[in-house]
Amino acid sequence: MKGSENKMEIIRKVKEMQEISDRLRHEGKKIGFVPTMGYLHEGHLSLVRKARVLSDAVVVSIFVNPTQFGPGEDFERYPRDEEGDKAKLEAEDVDFLFIPEAGEMYPSGYQTHVEVTEVSKGLCGDFRPGHFRGVATVVAKLFNIVKPRVAVFGEKDYQQLLVIKRIVRDLNFDIEILSGTLIREEDGLAMSSRNAYLSPEGRQKALSLYRSLLKGKELYETGEKDASVLVKAVQKSVESTAGIVLQYVEIRDAETLDRIERVGKPSVIAVAALIDSVRLIDNMILGR
């Protein structure tokens, strides 16, 4: 708790987490929540710091959610490091770490899912069928378990952020959703737990995503507002690096994710690509 010397408590059961959250709320404490899948990096920790400043008690969850991975995706090999994560969170003065088992979140007979129909379409939704249904479901469950007043999500997963804002609006969760800016490595690579899969050569190739987005942004800032021209420039730049399979480059309205023809309001250029079969996403906001 802010200003206290308490050690971080590890909670593995849903019921126990709910009881703790009820007690905190009863004591008038504002709960700040950062859901994660672990293997934490500076991007996650920046979200934790944001939650720390805005709340009295910080809860972080680590749960590699099986329902958001499709068949053939990396659920089994998703990087995990519980001890390392605990040490990082303790150093950030986190109060509670919620780490449930899959059977605790999805007991046998489980059959309820949350689906955000429109915002989940296109972009990553086209390449990962069922992904956002899994994300929306687990986040709604986590909200009911942790009962936060504020929750923080990264802008790196931009479509996910808008899916979550939509759930909160549509299902009347009384939670303020805040976002944290995308954090990059020194050379510009967007931080991601999946960067751990990259070979040194793959990591060099992956930098093309950042460089290409930067090109698009520079073009926009020097006067180009036609979305298709900007998209083509980014596409061409990504495709000039051998060994990258581009999935999409798109420019969408940053608030609604609607398709746009001209960049007037804040917009997001989003890209997804496979580098040596590792799927990476990145984005940049234009006009903010």
Which residues of the shown chain bind ligand PAF in the complex (CB under 6 A)?
35-37, 65, 68, 135, 138-139, 157, 160
Torsion of CA 68, 80, 96, 112, to 10 degrees: 20
Compare residues 58 and 139 and give the one whose CB is closer to ligand PAF: 139
Q: Kindly state the smallest distance separating residue 167's Cβ from ligand PAF, in Å.
A: 11
Selecting among 41, 44, 113, 131, the annotated active-site residue is: 44
Between CA 280 and CA 31 the distance in angstroms is: 32
Tokens of 229: 């021209």
CA-angle at 83, arms to 78 and 84, nearest 5°: 75
Q: Kindly state the smallest distance separating residue 230's Cβ from ligand PAF, in Å.
A: 27
Strand, helix or coil for residue 121: coil
Compare residues 134 and 216 and give the one whose CB is closer to ligand PAF: 134
Compare residues 37 and 94 and give the one whose CB is closer to ligand PAF: 37
Compare residues 139 and 190 and give the one whose CB is closer to ligand PAF: 139
Compare residues 65 and 212 and give the one whose CB is closer to ligand PAF: 65
Q: Kindly state the smallest distance separating residue 174's Cβ from ligand PAF, in Å.
A: 19
Q: Are 162 and 135 in contact (CB under 8 A)?
A: no
Q: Kindly state the smallest distance separating residue 63's Cβ from ligand PAF, in Å.
A: 6
44 is catalytic: yes
What is the phi/psi pair of residue 32, to 5°? -110, 135
Q: Are 153 and 163 in contact (CB under 8 A)?
A: no
**Cα→Cα distances 39→25, 91, 146, Å:** 29, 15, 21
Between CA 170 and CA 133 the distance in angstroms is: 15
- Strand 57-62 and strand 176-180: the pairing is unpaired
Q: Kindly state the smallest distance separating residue 135's Cβ from ligand PAF, in Å.
A: 5
Q: Are 86 and 97 in contact (CB under 8 A)?
A: yes
Which residues are catalytic, by number? 44
